Chain A
Amino acid sequence: MADQKMIRLKIRRQDGPDKAARWEEFEVPYRAKMNIISCLMDIQKNPVNAQGERTSPVVWECNCLEEVCGACTMNINGQSRQACSALVDQLEQPIVLEPLTKFPLVRDLMVDRQIMFDNLKKVRAWIPIDGTYNLGPGPRMAEVKRQWAYELSKCMTCGCCMEACPQVNSRSKFIGPAAISQVRLFNTHPTGEMNKHERLEALLDDGGITDCGNAQNCVRACPKGIPLTTGIADLNRETNKYALDRWLRK
């Protein structure tokens, strides 16, 4: 048990939304192939900081542990990403963990990303098929289109794109690139297409597509490689056409 390698972590902690933030350092014993979640679990088991003082366990969220749910998103060494797929071996130490800054803080590394789900509701990112009778099978989707749309469907509402976007902040109502990209997904679906206008309509609103400032950070921040800026430009074209058409028909 001589020379147990230790992992050094520096965590930004806050006991609650109105409490003061502070930094706390930890050391956890190294094991092969550890990720950030396993480090946090070790701290949870033995909540003692690097100075040897007992402290409260660090709060974080996680769920799928395979980078598909987005729950564990946090800033790791200044970059927003998923803690479950952030491997200790690939990170510089001390590993700095901070909560996302664009969402209301709950505690420590846990934030409330509700706004992203509200934005999905705003743009009607679903396919309305409920009715009082059986609507029968929908139109078929071409295989090439399905494969293409699958890439857009990988969005896990993690918030990395929101974190990176300079237009998402407390002074702006911008819904952010994720919700915009979902409009593209649902407007591509042959059944979803039937309600295309409702989603485009939502994008015309305050905080909608026009509030993008073309900094193009989002597309680089997205862990799923979703073509967010291509989606924005594409929907710019669609919303322009839609708005002009609507106006000319008045």
Chain B
Amino acid sequence: MRRNQVAVVGAAETTKLGVIPDMSQIQLHADAALNAIADAGLTIKDIDGFATAVEQPQQVCHYLGIKPTWVDNTSVGGCSFMLHVRHAAAAIEAGLCKTVLITHAESGKSNIGRPPRAVGADSLNGQFEMPFGVAGPPSMFTIPVLRFLKTHGITQEQMAMVSVVQREWAAKNPRATMKDPLTVDDVLNSRMIAYPFRILECCLVTDGGGALILTSADRAKDFPQKPVYILGTGESVETPMVSQMETFNSSRAFKVAGPLAFQEAGIAHKDVDHLMIYDAFAHLPLYGLGDLGFMPHEETGKFIADGNTRPGGKLPLNTNGGGLSYMHSGMYGMYALQESVRQMRGIAPAQVPNAKISVCHGVGGMFAASGTVIFTNQR
């Protein structure tokens, strides 16, 4: 895909984040979508392309009154929205549509109008993982980490620093769910969920949503907001069964999607001013820094523990507070994208001064899928 041909011209989250007991999941989609459409200075009639995950496009399009000529329902977990950005950019360039709306919403906490997530007993996961007592992401996403830490010589104290540093970012963000400062001891002494993961190393469970609007870069200059261009993208999938990953020492999906985006963007790692790595659990930024090629995995624990990713550090990471402290409705990728867009517009609560390039990397399922989007505010 060519660089900087498509731009984000509208971006917004739901009016409220956190606990939203007065809205169903479909209405959270609509709330985020209407906010993003207003942000872009458009009306619903201007939207001719639509993408979402979990809910089917016809559900959200009919609810909002959208008549699309292009839809995408790629649903590979929390990074689905990174893939939607990639697919939408290709569709706009190919002339299949002009103005794409991407929505995410999840009543993750209040559980109102949320489709059940069932695993069939005769699926491969149902036969070869469920009988061994796995119960959702905290007991599955976490299984690779002891091998990862041992192979790369990373300590549990260093991993705990991921939570500590992200709380520093969250403290600067009025919309963050958790803002009180943390220490490594606080993290290590918090309630054990699935050894070695304590509760402060596991994502929040909240309600919310977000929406993006994309159009061609040539049209983008006529919109009210500063355009944020798509510089490069990548995607991949590996396996729905965490036990069947090629290795626990890295993520194959990360190692495909990340470098593909860097190659397409034509940038080097030193060019990156701002970085988002989807952090459903505290080990993910460690995997991401290594798999995206910022440094060998062996150095990632020390890099974070030394403060390089905290406010004022040389590689600002997860500047909204992340899934650990900002919010996590279940499919967090949309919120990482929103923060990258805010940083590129220059309006983030914890703004990185003069940031010109933002890398936004997502994970889906338990290392099942990955999507990377590289944004810039320079054309």
The yes or no verdict on A and B being binding partners is no
